[in-house]
Structure 1
Amino acid sequence: MSLFSQQDLHDIEAAVQAAEKKSSGEIVPYFVDASADYPEVFWKLLTYLNSTWTVAALAWFEYGNYWYDLGILEVILIGLTIGVLSTLLLVRIPFVIRLLADRDSVDRAVTSRAAEAFLSEEVFRTRDRSGILIFISELEHRVLIVGDSGINAKVKAGTWDSLVTDLIASIRQKKAAAGLIAAIDQCGTVLKEAGVTRRDDDTDELGNTLRKG
């Protein structure tokens, strides 16, 4: 996992164990490199860079003396080639993807991927419907906290906003592990204060490790 070392994984697991002792909540941390491929970024870059390099090549052809015996079609081809190569290089840079990806597309992708994680990890399969997913999508710098019905019945909407904001800030500062551990601990506290009471016969229903999608 690019964001997390082996020691981080151990510390995160320990944090989940400690947080779950505060309530009956079952905390499931989940991490993905990206929620989607965002193909529109490639086409936006290609269109812009091809146009820019082709115009630049034509201007150089018109006003410079560097093209020797090249014809205008060859000059255009050179501009297009540079545009394609530039696109192939830049489209791999996370910052460029975040900059050019459509906001609505990112929102849909992250929400959909978090829903898939909720189902695939069976966060809903707890006795009191007390599962809670902490979903991290690295590329987009997005975090979602998704509670099952037993959690949502006791925790007010908007309660998780500050935790999400703090965790995103930690990811941007290259402190994802520390941020996630803090978020897990705060989740445990929020659930305890909200009355998600731990039963005397409480068991670990969903495991404690950081999942990788």
Structure 2
Amino acid sequence: MSWIQKYLSEEDFKKIEDTISRVEEDTRGEIVPVIVRRSSAVGHVPLVLTLLLTLIVLVAEFPFSDWLWVTPWVYLWPALVVVFYLISLALSSSKWIQKLLVSEKDELFQVHQRAELEFHKNTVHRTQEGTGVLIFVSVMEKKAVILADEGISKKLPPETWNEVLHPFRERLRKGEWGDGFVQAIENCGKHLKTHFPITSEAKNELKNHLVVKD
């Protein structure tokens, strides 16, 4: 996944892994960081762009409609729509275009949906005491979510994670992705250490690395 190299270096990966291992030495909590390329569905983008381009041309040609909508010029319109669609396919690969044509409300909903999916796919919900925490980032939307399992939620209110998310999002906004993950893991660890300190019977139940997915 070459795209991740734009945001995180090999050194960042190592720092994140070392931070998880170090933090989990003091707590029974299990921290799983996940980063995905995008969460929002963008299959509609080429069609929306095609409609927009067609509409723009229709408006632009209105003064000339008397001769453009007669034979033989009228037969060019199907070909033009096909050309617009091909152009739209090329443009729709742009992350900027994708973000432009997905509403903020849809982004929030789909990022949270993807976070919940990754929470289960990465078995964060299967720790013995319900002490798993997911730190989730979706790159295209530049949004972060923290999900905690049932055991943690009984002791820590949702506002706890807002305190962790605020500086994390600031780091992401500045492009400090690696340091942002490290800081978020350490901050989560402080809360977990207080309520779920390490015991002699505790064992590492989940892998200590950053999960990367498209």
TM (normalized to structure 1)? 0.83
Secondary structure in 2 aligned to 1:29?
A: strand
Write the letter of the residue equivalent to 2:31. Answer: I
Structure 1 partner of 2:91: 90
Whole-angstrom distance in 2 between the partners of 1:14 and 1:25 = 16
Structure 2 partner of 1:51: 55
Q: 2:37 aligns with which of 29, 33, 36?
A: 33
1:45 Cα offset (Å):
2.0
Listed as ranges, the matches of 1:142-181 within 5 Å are 142-181=143-182
Measured on the aligned residues, the alpha-carbon RMSD in Å equals 2.5
Q: Deviation digits for residues 129-152 of structure 1, max 9, x if unmatched?
A: 111011111112121111011111
Whole-angstrom distance in 2 between the partners of 1:75 and 1:55 = 16
Write the letter of the residue equivalent to 2:84. Answer: G
Q: Say whether the 8 Å CA contact 2:31–2:132 is kept in structure 1.
A: yes
Q: Size of the alignment, in residue pairs?
A: 206
More moved, 26-35 vs 42-51? 42-51
Whole-angstrom distance in 2 between the partners of 1:144 and 1:24 = 21
Unaligned runs of 5+ in 1: none
72 and 34 in structure 1: CA distance in 2 versus 1, 3 angstrom threshold: same
Q: Deviation digits for residues 80-122 of structure 1, max 9, x if unmatched?
A: 3553344223311212222221334323322222222111211
Unaligned runs of 5+ in 2: none
Structure 1 partner of 2:110: 109
82 and 54 in structure 1: CA distance in 2 versus 1, 3 angstrom threshold: farther
Whole-angstrom distance in 2 between the partners of 1:85 and 1:173 = 35
Whole-angstrom distance in 2 between the partners of 1:15 and 1:187 = 11
1:23 Cα offset (Å):
1.9
Secondary structure in 1 aligned to 2:33?
A: strand
Structure 2 partner of 1:188: 189
1:71 Cα offset (Å):
5.0
Q: Say whether the 8 Å CA contact 1:12–1:209 is kept in structure 2.
A: yes
TM (normalized to structure 2)? 0.83
Q: Say whether the 8 Å CA contact 1:29–1:134 is kept in structure 2.
A: yes
Q: Is 2:22 the counterpart of 1:23?
A: no
87 and 168 in structure 1: CA distance in 2 versus 1, 3 angstrom threshold: farther
Whole-angstrom distance in 2 between the partners of 1:101 and 1:10 = 34
1:75 Cα offset (Å):
5.9
Q: Say whether the 8 Å CA contact 1:154–1:196 is kept in structure 2.
A: no
More moved, 133-142 vs 94-103? 94-103
Write the letter of the residue equivalent to 2:190. Answer: T
Q: Identical aligned pairs, as a percentage?
A: 27
Whole-angstrom distance in 2 between the partners of 1:163 and 1:99 = 28
